[in-house]
Chain A
């Protein structure tokens, strides 16, 4: 009986919270494209995200200070980070840490510095900001023969070096990027409650389901959130070649060889008489 009571209490409280949320200001957003096709001439893309803050009509008084954070998150992946050490004069991969659930792509734009607009606990809980990505090491034994860094050593603080390495490498590849503070390339208010964000997608973007998250923050708290999914996929010949190579690797190899044989023969015929 007690349990039932507690459950109905929780249900009541959450309904109450929902009702209150419904009455608070809410975000309305839209994005220029929800599918991005990677074709042979793909050299990156730019998505435009528009949004407005729908004010709760019951609220009166001066307009509060609003802040917006826009995040485009790629599908998660499993990664191995390898560390080189000098061995007999040359640099050799010696240690490795495997991470699970690392975003393959992460782009963030915010109207101000993240710590100025949100509580760190909340930022961390929702992984808002590259520095707040959790990046947990995989617990299973790595398949690699490199010396795996043990969990104990990891807890001793060594893990942060590997986390930093993931971020550094991803930033260098252009796959992690943050624009904090209003910027022509980031997110900015156009007028009053209307805002716009440019999401730059680099040419090496991983394919799959990406999510565009928009958070409305006020007084350090997230007031409203919208999420939209964006499907990034290969198209045309690129898609066919990729699928052929992965689904029929043997036939693909044969086809590659035949192409080369044919090209070589053509060249031989073309230049025979010259």
Chain B
């Protein structure tokens, strides 16, 4: 069934989009990730203008993060104070990101910016995850217990000023690192159409040393507000948020995620992470290949003046 997207101004197959939403939702439920970093490239591969893909995906992430955060909140696994500090950086970051985005859009370089950001971040995160999970798998096979980090370990982060107490996270640290992390994730959300969980979660665990059980809920809390802000800023700046597309994607995504969560319970963590890492790297290579290989047409058209 063909359906016309009013903002993207194109006719697409509704079932294809529902299916894509479902597939990405399934994977995000399976791996416990947002899925934006898979959905935005998929939308671009299927012919949606990159600017519309990024802005609309931010809108969809708002929905998937809300249902995620409500589940975490019921388990009291959200540190609202930490979330708010992260968010204060995120607000500035998303503003900066949208500014860069619309500037480069005028200059015809926004596709390049999106692709390069994806290649760099997916490449880095994917390689690290693959390395880490393969090592964990090997260790598991060798029958060794995974190396636990020592509690109370101090790093340079504890030397920074503006210390705050985060009761829920059982931390007394400077507000600067969470603000910087929030800022970086805000920029990425605006440019890449992602929630940024794949950057924020490792940063919270390894840099801030937050307890693992509240990391997901707290990052989702921050992601809701940042992606909501990104949605509004993109709407105002470039009118690229397509609600019809967003509704199709989130309908498929919600159902897919529920199935994914159930399947995910039956698989082992390291195997899951190795699989996810391989998928992240596959998307990275595909985008990287498109940057390097000679395009079928070196010329492209864009309207002047409006988006």
Contacts and interface: CB of A to CB of B under 8 A. Distances in A.
Interface stretch (B151-159, B181-189, B264-272, B298-306): B298-306
A27 interface: no
Contact of A257 (B9, B109, B228): B228
A93 B109 contact: yes
B232 A144 contact: no
B66 A78 contact: no
B244 interface: yes
Given A82-B299, A91-B294, A264-B66, A256 B7 contact: no
B254 A263 contact: yes
A22 interface: no
Contacts of A85: 298
A80 B302 contact: yes
Interface in A137-177: 138, 143-146, 161-162, 165-166, 168-170, 172
B243 A261 contact: no
B172 interface: no
What 3 A-B pairs are tightest by C-beta distance, nearest first? A264-B66, A253-B235, A165-B299
B62 interface: yes
A92 B9 CA distance: 26
Contact of B70 (A90, A237, A268): A268
A263 B299 contact: no
Contacts, number: 186
Contacts of B1: 41
Contact of A256 (B6, B64, B241): B241
Interface residues of A, number: 65
Contacts of B303: 77-80
A90 B247 contact: no
A256 B243 contact: yes
A246 interface: yes
B292 A89 contact: yes
Interface of A: 38-44, 77-86, 89-93, 96, 98, 138, 143-146, 161-162, 165-166, 168-170, 172, 203-204, 234, 237-239, 241-242, 245-246, 249-250, 252-257, 259-261, 263-265, 267-268, 271, 274
Contacts of B169: none
Contacts of A265: 66-67, 70
Nearest to A271: B258
B6 A267 contact: no
Contact of B235 (A79, A238, A252): A252
Contacts of B305: 78
Question: For the complex, would chain B's binding face be called helix, strand, loop or mixed by DSSP majority?
Answer: helix
B70 to A, nearest CB: 4
22 contacts: A77-B303, A81-B301, A82-B302, A84-B299, A90-B292, A92-B112, A98-B304, A138-B304, A143-B304, A144-B106, A165-B297, A249-B236, A252-B241, A253-B231, A253-B232, A256-B235, A259-B247, A260-B59, A260-B231, A261-B66, A261-B228, A263-B251
Contacts of B263: none
Contacts of A170: 301
Contact of B232 (A86, A239, A257, A261): A257
Given A93-B109, A253-B234, A82 B241 contact: no
A207 B107 CA distance: 25
Contacts of B258: 271, 274
B239 interface: yes
A260 B299 contact: no
Contacts of B282: none
Given A81-B299, A263-B247, A271-B258, A93 B60 contact: no
B46 to A, nearest CB: 15
Nearest to A100: B304
Interface string B281-303: 00000000001101101111111
